[in-house]
Amino acid sequence: MSTIRQDSAATDGIRQEPGAPDGLHQDPTAADRVRQAPAAADTPRRPVLAVSGLEVHHGLRRRRRRVLADVTLDIAAGETLGLIGETGSGKSTFARAVLGLVHVSAGSISVDGEDVTGYNARQWRALRRRGVVQYVFQDPLRSLDPDLTVEDSLTEPLLLAGTDRRTAAGRARDLLTRVRLPHELLTRLPGELSGGQRQRVAVARALATEPRLLLLDEPVSALDSANRVHILEILKELRAAGVALVFISHDLGSVAGVADRVAVLHRGELVETGPVADVIRAPRHPYTRLLVGSAPTLHTPAASRSERAALRAQLAL
């Protein structure tokens, strides 16, 4: 994994160069380096998710605007990537693109070594049904059917994948244990659970199909301290078990404790990627500097009020 991190740091350098061409695929050296990322590693492990030159547009004709521009990212098994972006940065669109839920205008997406870019709707559905990639929303009520008991929610993806009912029921119990919830919750409806319990059930459901890649969109933003820590602990266990995680949030602070690497999206472009400690201690892009300097901290903030003001002026925010 260390090699991958180094390599991602190398891509940073390219991104930092002022006037670097927008499209990595138009820049042979950059494209080569990116493509070498997994190959150059000593480990034969290929990335669970490899996204290259991804571009997504929303709207039609005059209203058409670019939401993601040339996003290139790799995530290895057992790696946690924090994808940071604020409202309108395109971070949720990225997740939706990886799930085949939005039309991709350019670039490629490989999931677990399989190029899924040209998939049609039926192939995407089949891929999602296999459960290699799973998705957890900020609001667990959106991940869980309000009319299904916890047990039904947990067994449904297994039954769809062809597991028999008895095995699925046993798995449901294991899944609850894995997210540290008592088995008596199996008969409850989502509405009868607390917010923290609901989010843990949503994570358990996402784990039912043993995904290789889990995308989490603001999974802890709506939770209080104690529940946040619970979810973060579960994510760390998943990482240790080899699941690749994409932790999407507007708040660098909320991913700092679990991410290996962070990628910063600003207005649809990836402005910086690197190991989490490097990005926080020595952010290079002005937007990343503002992001780090804006995060509320208990101790000395990373930027003073006047530094923040200067960065905002520079970015024309």
Partner 1 sequence: MTILSPKTAVPPAAAPADLPRAADPAPAPTGPPLLVLDDVHIRDRAGGRDIVRGVGFELTPGKTVGIVGESGSGKTLTCRAALGILPPHFEVDRGSIAIDGTDIATLTPRQWTDLRGATISAVFQDPASYLNPSIKVGAQIAEVVRVKQGLGRRAARHRALDLMAAVQLRDPELVHGQYPFELSGGMLQRVLIAAAIAAGPRILIADEATTALDVTVQAEILDLLADLRERTGLALVVVSHDLAVVAQLCDEVLVMRDGKVVEQGPTETVLHTPRHAYTRLLIDEHESYGLDRFLAPREAA
Taking alpha carbons only, the member of 269, 240, 242, 245 closest to residue 255 is: 245
Stretch that binds partner 1, among 55-63, 140-148, 206-214, 247-255 (CB under 8 A): 247-255
Please enumerate in sequence order all residues whose Cβ is within 8 A of that of 266, keeping only pairs 6 or more positions apart, or say none: 85, 86, 89, 285, 287
Stretch that binds partner 1, among 49-57, 101-109, 159-167, 256-264 (CB under 8 A): 256-264
Under rule CB under 8 A, which residues in 106-165 are in contact with partner 1? Answer: none
Cα–Cα distance list, 95 to 197, 246, 310 (Å) = 24, 9, 32
Stretch that binds partner 1, among 155-163, 164-172, 180-188, 301-309 (CB under 8 A): 301-309
**131 in helix, strand or coil?**
coil
- Position among 27, 139, 152, 251 found at the interface with partner 1 (CB under 8 A): 251
- CB-nearer residue toward partner 1: 125 or 312: 312
Computed from CA positions of residues 124, 130, 134, 135, in that sequence, does the dihedral angle turn out positive or negative?
Answer: positive
Distance CA 246, CA 79 (A): 9
- Position among 210, 224, 237, 242 found at the interface with partner 1 (CB under 8 A): 224
Cα–Cα distance list, 30 to 3, 37, 236 (Å) = 17, 11, 32
Stretch that binds partner 1, among 52-60, 178-186, 208-216, 286-294 (CB under 8 A): 286-294
Please tell me whether residue 313 binds partner 1 under the rule CB under 8 A.
no
Residue numbers at the binding site for partner 1 (CB under 8 A): 86-87, 224-226, 228-229, 232, 250-254, 256-258, 276-277, 280-281, 290-302, 305, 308-309, 312, 317
